[in-house]
Amino acid sequence: MPLTESIVLSAPQARVLGALIEKEVTTPDYYPMSINALINACNQRSNREPVMDLDEEDVRQALHRLEDLNLAGRARGADGRVTKYEHWLGEAFNFSRAETALVCVLLLRGPQTPGELRGRTERLHRFDELTDVVGGLQKLMEREPALAAILPRQPGTKESRYAHLLSGGIETVSATENALGRHAALPGAEPDAGQENRIARLEATVTELRQELVALRQKIDDLFGDG
């Protein structure tokens, strides 16, 4: 079923969903997942922000809610005595691999810049260029309702960060960050999404041009270094 604006995932529900998406790709031999494996995946000390300490009851309650939303639940047609769990994100949204990877990492690690997302999605989907990341985020932002947004730029930072909207709007994301002790977002009106996206694309282009310039200089040095 399509996600509606009234559906907002809690932090444990978002973590469980993100863990299921990640493990389907990174450890397919152990997917669908048992409840114990899912608990361990949710509470990993690496590739998770913030680190959580969910217990079995937390994860089971999250799974019940996700099943009500048709986003995840008991694996269909799975055999064996141990109950296994899977996500149904593909049925709910028909994501591309790029969109799935971006949503997964945003669920697991919170708001991030395109550069951070490019590095952290490597095991899930390879983005050849930073502009590909921005393009994938743009597709998420253009969905109805939108599934991603650009956050107000933090003081002293050069790059914009993007957040998923499966746990609410920008105000909810900012409140969650404050509760976790992160820097508060800039006060005032919400940013113009189109303008912020153009800035992000320009930043990505500048980064790519700099990389090409470094490579070109290296080639020149290799050709004429002995002259």
Residue 59 belongs to domain with CATH number: 1.10.10.10
Last residue of a domain, one of 93, 109, 125: 93
Residues 160 and 84 in one domain: no
Instruction: State the average pLDDT over residues 151-156.
Output: 88
Dist CA 176 CA 218 (whole Å): 45
Res. 16 pLDDT band, cuts 50 70 90: very high
Residues 113 and 82 in one domain: no
Last residue of a domain, one of 62, 93, 124: 93
Give, in order, the Cα–Cα distances in Å from 187 to each of 1, 94, 136, 155, 179.
35, 35, 27, 11, 16
Domain presence at residue 50? yes
Share of the chain above pLDDT 70, in %: 73
Instruction: State the average pLDDT over residues 131-140.
Output: 97
Indicate whether 157 pLDDT > 90: no
Q: What is the pLDDT of residue 103?
A: 98
Domain presence at residue 170? yes
Instruction: State the average pLDDT over residues 33-40.
Output: 97
Domain count, the chain: 2
Condensed to tens digits (0 to 9), the pLDDT of residues 168-208 reads: 887 655 555 554 443 333 333 344 445 555 565 566 666 66
Q: What is the pLDDT of residue 190?
A: 42
Res. 223 pLDDT band, cuts 50 70 90: confident
Q: What is the pLDDT of residue 5?
A: 46
Domain presence at residue 226? no
Residues 174 and 83 in one domain: no
Residues 151 and 207 in one domain: yes
Domain presence at residue 5? no
Condensed to tens digits (0 to 9), the pLDDT of residues 100-114 reads: 999 999 999 999 999
Dihedral pair phi/psi, residue 162, rounded to 5°:
-115, 150
Indicate whether 123 pLDDT > 70: yes
- Burial classification of residue 182, based on how many CB atoms lie within 10 Å of its CB (0-12 exposed, 13-18 middle, 19 or more buried): middle
Residues 146 and 215 in one domain: yes
What residue has token string 């800039």? 186
The per-residue pLDDT of the chain, averaged, comes to: 84
Condensed to tens digits (0 to 9), the pLDDT of residues 53-79 reads: 999 999 999 999 999 999 999 998 767
**Residue range(s) defining the domain that contains residue 143:** 97-183+190-220
Q: What is the 3-state secondary structure (H, E, C) of the chain?
A: CCCCCCCCCCHHHHHHHHHHHHHHHHCHHHCCEEHHHHHHHHCCCCCCCCCCCCCHHHHHHHHHHHHHCCCEEECCCCCCCCCEEEECHHHHHCCCHHHHHHHHHHHHHCCECHHHHHHHCCCCCCCCCHHHHHHHHHHHHCCCCCCEEECCCCCCCCCCCEEECCCCCHHHHHHHHHHCCCCCCCCCCCCCHHHHHHHHHHHHHHHHHHHHHHHHHHHHHHHHCCC
Domain presence at residue 3? no
Whether residue 110 contacts residue 161, with contact meaning beta carbons closer than 8 Å, is answered with: no
Q: What is the pLDDT of residue 61?
A: 98
Residues 213 and 129 in one domain: yes
Residues 76 and 146 in one domain: no
Pairwise pLDDT comparison (210 vs 28), residue with the higher score: 28
Q: What is the pLDDT of residue 1?
A: 46
Residues 55 and 140 in one domain: no
Residues 203 and 101 in one domain: yes
